[in-house]
Chains A and B, each alone.
Chain A
Amino acid sequence: MTSPAPSPEPQEAPRLDAAAVPALSIDGVSHAYGPRRALIDVSFNVQPASFTALLGLNGAGKSTLFSLITRLFGIQSGRVGIFGHDIGKSPGEALRLLGVVFQPRTLDLDLSLTQNLLYHAALHGISRREAAARSAELLGRIGLSDRAGSKVRDLSGGQMRRLEIARALLHRPRLLLLDEPTVGLDVKARADIISQVRQLVTEQGIGVLWATHLFDEILPSDDLVVLHQGKVLARGPMSRVVTDAGAQDVNTAFMRLTGAQTMPGGGGA
């Protein structure tokens, strides 16, 4: 593997209107937990207004990568940029443009829906009045306005996920990360969430990185990154990745690329 050449754009002031700047750029990122290497020289980009699926089995390194992008862990080597802002050097600016839905639930179960949203808004320095308006609007959009005052504990799994996505959008990020957001949900809830997120891409131009191990969540027009045992095995439009692997569908392509014996089902829960 050749080490990635330093990209030219970081020299310039990062601007959202610069079309060339990717929403997310991962350049030569490696990470180890002691002797165990979780990520090895990972590089790929997520473009604004695109849906990029990060496909990998459990343990492929997806969550580690998410922890690095969100600055939960420090970068050991390589570079992570969000619209040109280096997460290590200017985390404030980078995190401001980023919304994230983690795999484990991160809602406060004893607080109400609105209280959860207001807390998140406060963490982003959004004034109370503005936060209340945005919360009401977002709750309306996900069809949970009538539940605004109920405790999160009383929601279903699908509703909680939708609330988490709404929360991640509260500070109007330009890049949205979702780590296996449909795990544990029924078919209907899965479909709702996928269509909600795809709408964000087409209507609001948000760049989405969607980590999953479920093939049926990926469309041929999506960008695809195949992560296996910490390494990127393939990346590009899904149709091209499939053709390059000499396969008919993403399932077979993934099997050929990884040499995996057993395939994860497409069933979700």
Chain B
Amino acid sequence: MSSITTRDASRGFSFAEYMTCLTGIVWREGLRFLHQRERFVSALVRPLVWLFIFAAGFRQVLGISIIPPYETYILYEVYIAPGLMAMIQLFNGMQSSLSMVYDREMGNMRTLLVSPLPRGFLLFCKLLAGTAVSLLQVYAFLLIAWFWDITPPSSGYLTVLPALILSGLMLGSLGMLISSGIKQLENFAGVMNFVIFPMFFASSALYPLWRVQEGSPYLYYLCEANPFTHAVELIRFALYGQINWISLAVVASCTIVFMIGAIWAYDPSRGLARRGPAGGEG
């Protein structure tokens, strides 16, 4: 009897309470997103600029041979579309972690962290919410791209969804991991330069890796080791109803590692605790 009536025999939380919490966090993130229309517009304009201008200009320069998953010669626009989808998620992942740094400075993060539910679960909800927002952006992009003759098979819009969720979680948890190490908002701009641009350019988003290999074998290895490359490839294959197993394995493992790292870094006895009082002591 005594072992049951100790303090560990706490009531705990029911499944319904977990779900209420999850939907609440996703709902709030969605509301915030709707309130920030400029964010939505810029999230769309960025890849569209690449698509309409950069891709049009480079169409003649970069010939694409037939490489899987494509079965015919394709236009350069078609090639970079999955890379741009991943770019949307990369920016979104970094932006939602930027909002965590902002929330922490503004004190909103405290509202989340004093919830009685387990902290790991709260952060996971936050990641899912960020990923859901990135899905809205990606599908809006795909809709516009469709008018630009980027027309993957219609089933591709569905088969790409799990890939997008996984890559969204990976990039979001990477952002969260990075945000845990940032003291102040201003430092984030530097991290953007050191994370977003290198990840995007040293990947298969803009050019097939066999072309990179011709130019520089070292860069090729770097691109191969870049998790973002695998996010792009996972999305590219899924958009055509195929699975790139290596990319799936890399993205899945990176998601787990980054997520564990982020939850570890936000553990009260570590990460945040070392940094001293947030928002001034009194």
Interface residues of A (CB under 8 A from B): 10, 13-14, 33, 38, 58-64, 67, 70-75, 84-86, 89-96, 98, 100, 102-108, 110-111, 115, 118-128, 179-180, 211, 213
Q: Is the CB of B106 within 8 A of A104?
A: yes
CB neighbours (8 Å) of A107 from chain B are 108
A100 to B281, CA, bound (A): 16
A107 to B24, CA, bound (A): 15
A220 to B106, CA, bound (A): 35
Closest to B273 in A: A73
A196 to B5, CA, bound (A): 37
Q: Is the CB of A71 within 8 A of B114?
A: yes
Closest to B12 in A: A92
- CB contact under 8 A between A122 and B268, given known A72-B113, A100-B114, A213-B282: no
Tell me, yes or no, whether B6 is within 8 Å of chain A by CB: yes
Known: A71-B268, A110-B36. 18 other contacts (CB 8 A): A13-B7, A59-B281, A61-B281, A62-B282, A64-B277, A67-B277, A67-B278, A70-B113, A70-B114, A72-B114, A73-B272, A74-B268, A103-B279, A104-B280, A106-B107, A110-B35, A111-B35, A119-B28
Q: Is the CB of B9 within 8 A of A95?
A: no
Taking the closest CB of chain A, its distance from the CB of B54, in whole angstroms, is 33
Chain B contributes a number of interface residues (CB within 8 A of A) equal to: 51
Task: Give the contacts of B238-282 with A (CB-CB under 8 A).
Answer: 267-270, 272-274, 276-282
A32 to B17, CA, bound (A): 36
A58 to B277, CA, bound (A): 13
Q: How many A-B residue pairs have CB under 8 A?
A: 151
Among B23, B116, B267, B277, point to the contact of A92 (Cβ < 8 A): B116
A134 to B204, CA, bound (A): 52
Q: Is the CB of B108 within 8 A of A108?
A: yes
A137 to B228, CA, bound (A): 49
Tell me, yes or no, whether B27 is within 8 Å of chain A by CB: yes
Tell me, yes or no, whether B185 is within 8 Å of chain A by CB: no
CB neighbours (8 Å) of A122 from chain B are 20-21, 23-25, 27-28
A120 to B32, CA, bound (A): 15
CB neighbours (8 Å) of A38 from chain B are 277, 281
Task: Give the contacts of B104-118 with A (CB-CB under 8 A).
Answer: 106-108, 110-118
Taking the closest CB of chain B, its distance from the CB of A67, in whole angstroms, is 6
Q: Is the CB of B113 within 8 A of A63?
A: no
A28 to B277, CA, bound (A): 20
Taking the closest CB of chain A, its distance from the CB of B164, in whole angstroms, is 25
- Top 7 closest A-B pairs, CB basis? A122-B24, A74-B269, A125-B17, A123-B115, A95-B116, A104-B107, A106-B107
Closest to A60 in B: B282
Tell me, yes or no, whether B60 is within 8 Å of chain A by CB: no
- CB contact under 8 A between A125 and B113, given known A62-B282, A89-B7: no
Q: Is the CB of A179 within 8 A of B279?
A: no
Q: Is the CB of B10 within 8 A of A93?
A: yes
Among B6, B21, B114, B270, point to the contact of A13 (Cβ < 8 A): B6
Tell me, yes or no, whether B14 is within 8 Å of chain A by CB: yes
A122 to B110, CA, bound (A): 15
Tell me, yes or no, whether B149 is within 8 Å of chain A by CB: no
Tell me, yes or no, whether B214 is within 8 Å of chain A by CB: no
Closest to A94 in B: B116
- CB contact under 8 A between A127 and B281, given known A104-B107, A119-B28: no
A191 to B269, CA, bound (A): 38
- CB contact under 8 A between A92 and B117, given known A104-B107, A110-B35, A122-B21: yes
Tell me, yes or no, whether B18 is within 8 Å of chain A by CB: yes
